[in-house]
A and B are shown apart, each in its own frame.
Chain A
Amino acid sequence: MSKQVIVNALISAVTFLVLAGWLLGISMQAEPGGVQLVFAEPSHLHWLWGGMAAVFFGQLFLPNLFGKLRSGVSANKPSFKLPSMDRKGGNLIACFVLAGAIIWPFMVSRGSVDLATLTLIYVMLGLGLNVVVGLAGLLDLGYVGFYAVGAYSYALLAAEGWGFWTCLPIAGAMAALFGFLLGFPVLRLRGDYLAIVTLGFGEIIRLLLNNLTELTGGPNGISGIAKPTLFGLEFNRKLKDGGFDTFHNFFDISYNSQYKVIFLYLMALLLVVLTIIVINRLLRMPIGRAWEALREDEIACRSLGLSPTVVKLSAFTIGAAFAGFAGSFFAARQGFISPESFTFIESAIILAIVVLGGMGSQIGVILAAIMMTVLPELAREFNEYRMLMFGLMMVFMMIWRPQGLLPMSRPHMQLKQEA
């Protein structure tokens, strides 16, 4: 083990301590003289030390482990091989994580599951925006607009009596359509200019929602949006008029409000897993490579016969579709939406997730989404100070790891071994 690895691991551990210490390590106590900062209770500190140890040893051994796996594979392959999702090691880990994520909600409190559902929505949004910003390199500050389109599509269709699973693709398609429409005017723009126009687009959608009172209910929003059902089984205590049956009645168990929360969580998990699979495929398809090529050099793209128009529009469209899915799920989960939920700060948070996670990296985006939603919740006790900490954390992050938590790794293609 080289010195470099140990130093790296140490730096990572200290970074973790500094980042998490703000939130977990100290707490505030109201005393007669005012608020005082004190060390948090031991249970929090244990988590902190445990996390530090995990980061340290993870950094120490993981690179080694992956290096071995990789070199072991490449030794005896006959020819070029496409990078594929089914690398043995990665797949196994993914299965474990997935199994953990499925079992987890049955063991924790309702609040945690609810928060996890929200996190999963952000994961989906982050992954979608990652297509536009991380892969295609198109800085989009109005992503929340597509999220809103998806949410309102579902809310309006559900009011007409449509079910969630029929509305989901429609909401995605609506958002994709808006992404496509936004794509046209910004085809010639790049960088800062593109950012400003997309920012405007997000605001236009929000203002439209606010002012089209007849359709969207204006600032009052839409309430009483139908919750998703499991093959027609509802999760309410009492059956709605004309409903098929309720979940607890059908399976003959006593009613528990937790079922609904867990169901929503599992649904979000399913959507996230689908998103990950689809984007993973996209990355390995010609279109995914074209997005990245466009990010790298538009002129070279053109000189090789790739149409920048098609590539850009497809990135906007597909990115927006994922926001639409996330939006319709969000509406279904909340049961109430209003333009308030789709302000610029949402766009900023989603963008922060992508940048923090590492542009283009999926695991990075997932980790960052978890960080961005869970940490502020953990730090609730700090009240208004938590946004300050949040900002500080981001600043430190950008100083120490400007490439993001887990920068994207290039697919590795096996080379021919001459006999």
Chain B
Amino acid sequence: MSLLLDVTGLTMRFGGLLAVDNVALRLHEKEVVSVIGPNGAGKTTVFNCLTGFYQPTSGQIVYRGEHLEGMKGHLIARKGIVRTFQHVRLFKDMTVVENLLVAQHRHLDTNFFSGLLNTKRFRKSERSALEFAKYWLDKVGLTEFANRKAGNLAYGQQRRLEIARCMVTRPEILMLDEPAAGLNPRETEDLDRLILELRDQEDVSILLIEHDMKLVMGISDRIYVVNQGCPLADGTPEQVRNNPEVIKAYLGEF
């Protein structure tokens, strides 16, 4: 398993507030790594730094030997690191399929004139995009809603659509920010299965922020614990579960 993402000394300071302090993180190919910690610990800030939404104050983010710090968000996404959001961010007034087509923008024939003249090549590229969208709709079980407006889907479906929308960009690293928030137990189980499927069949590595400990402990290969911006512990689910400091700060006594 080769190293995909190597983050060292990541620090993010907002004025006087030290939101993330010296966080280190490693992600290998075909691995599910979770970041856990109490609310306000800086987990989402880490995500925002990694995806270029914030420019980290200091630290290094190396993806396949390439430095990402200071790079614009959409360029990082094009390199194959995409994310979902804590609060679902779909294109609500567009249909489900259209959401998936927008996400494939990079892989489509965007030549102005070939689109204007509706050339053969353009139609072929659109058709393959639709087929690919269909593949993912089947995968997340939304095929029958393909022509619904995304905003009219149920919450759980919106979550799944957001993941599908990330996947059609053909990413290498998928970052999920609390994907199970607001899901019922059955939907969480489906999500569990979906994430493992993404890892095993689609060869993506997954970085996960989640509060649902059952989900985290069940699917993670490794876990990082963050508390008040500082790294607290890391290791396999077993190690983290039994770490007294983690229990004190976050998990609570059983």
Task: Give the shortest distance, in Å, between B173 (CB) and chain A (any CB).
Answer: 13
Kindly identify, within residues 271 to 308 of chain A, every residue whose CB is under 8 Å from any CB belonging to chain B: 278, 281-282, 284-287, 289-290, 292-293, 295-297, 299-308
Whole-angstrom CA separation of A80 from B101 in the bound complex: 13
Kindly identify, within residues 68 to 127 of chain B, every residue whose CB is under 8 Å from any CB belonging to chain A: 72-75, 77-78, 82-83, 85, 89-95, 97-98, 101-103, 105-106, 108-110, 112, 115-116, 118, 122-123, 126-127
Check if A304 sits within 8 Å of B165, measured CB to CB: yes
Is B200 at the interface (CB under 8 A from chain A)?
no
Task: Give the shortest distance, in Å, between B231 (CB) and chain A (any CB).
Answer: 25
Check if B91 sits within 8 Å of A296, measured CB to CB: yes
Query: Which residues of chain A are within 8 angstroms of B108 by Cβ–Cβ distance?
Result: 286
Task: Give the shortest distance, in Å, between A55 (CB) and chain B (any CB).
Answer: 27
Check if A297 sits within 8 Å of B102, measured CB to CB: no
Report if A290-B126 is in contact (Cβ < 8 Å); known contacts: A285-B116, A410-B147.
Answer: no
Check if B126 sits within 8 Å of A82, measured CB to CB: yes
Stretch at the interface among A150-158, A382-390, A411-419: A411-419
Check if B74 sits within 8 Å of A82, measured CB to CB: no
Check if A297 sits within 8 Å of B115, measured CB to CB: no
Whole-angstrom CA separation of A297 from B84 in the bound complex: 13
Whole-angstrom CA separation of A287 from B106 in the bound complex: 11
Query: Which residues of chain A are within 8 angstroms of B169 by Cβ–Cβ distance?
Result: 304-305
Check if B102 sits within 8 Å of A289, measured CB to CB: yes
Task: Give the shortest distance, in Å, between B94 (CB) and chain A (any CB).
Answer: 6
Closest chain A residue to B151 by CB distance?
A: A296
Task: Give the shortest distance, in Å, between B163 (CB) and chain A (any CB).
Answer: 13
Kindly identify, within residues 155 to 214 of chain B, every residue whose CB is under 8 Å from any CB belonging to chain A: 165-166, 169
Report if A415-B146 is in contact (Cβ < 8 Å); known contacts: A304-B169, A410-B95.
Answer: yes
Whole-angstrom CA separation of A391 from B249 in the bound complex: 63
Task: Give the shortest distance, in Å, between A369 (CB) and chain B (any CB).
Answer: 23
Check if A410 sits within 8 Å of B165, measured CB to CB: no
Check if B106 sits within 8 Å of A305, measured CB to CB: yes
Report if A297-B130 is in contact (Cβ < 8 Å); known contacts: A302-B77, A304-B169, A305-B105.
Answer: no
Is B53 at the interface (CB under 8 A from chain A)?
yes
> Would you call the interface of chain B mostly helix, strand, loop, or mixed?
helix
Is B134 at the interface (CB under 8 A from chain A)?
yes
Task: Give the shortest distance, in Å, between A343 (CB) and chain B (any CB).
Answer: 33
Q: Which of A80, A82, A278, A300 contacts B91 (CB 8 A)?
A: A300
Is B143 at the interface (CB under 8 A from chain A)?
yes
Query: Which residues of chain A are within 8 angstroms of B72 by Cβ–Cβ distance?
Result: 307
Q: Which of B51, B82, B105, B147 contacts A413 (CB 8 A)?
A: B147
Is B131 at the interface (CB under 8 A from chain A)?
yes
Most chain B CB neighbours (cut-off 10 Å) among A81, A300, A307, A308: A300
Query: Which residues of chain A are within 8 angstroms of B112 by Cβ–Cβ distance?
Result: 285, 287
Whole-angstrom CA separation of A262 from B170 in the bound complex: 55
Most chain A CB neighbours (cut-off 10 Å) among B74, B134, B144, B166: B74
Is B28 at the interface (CB under 8 A from chain A)?
no
Q: Which of A80, A82, A290, A303 contacts B77 (CB 8 A)?
A: A303
Check if B90 sits within 8 Å of A285, measured CB to CB: no
Is B149 at the interface (CB under 8 A from chain A)?
yes
Check if B130 sits within 8 Å of A293, measured CB to CB: no
> What 1/0 flags go to B45-64 for Cβ under 8 Å of A?
00000010100000000000
Could you jot down 19 A-B contacts, CB within 8 Å?
A: A79-B131, A82-B123, A82-B127, A285-B122, A286-B101, A286-B115, A287-B115, A289-B98, A296-B93, A297-B89, A297-B91, A300-B90, A302-B77, A303-B51, A304-B102, A305-B106, A306-B74, A410-B94, A413-B147
Measuring CB to CB, which residues of chain B are less than 8 angstroms from any residue of chain A? 51, 53, 72-75, 77-78, 82-83, 85, 89-95, 97-98, 101-103, 105-106, 108-110, 112, 115-116, 118, 122-123, 126-127, 130-131, 133-134, 143-144, 146-147, 149, 165-166, 169
Closest 7 CB pairs of A and B: A285-B115, A305-B77, A296-B91, A300-B89, A80-B130, A305-B78, A293-B102
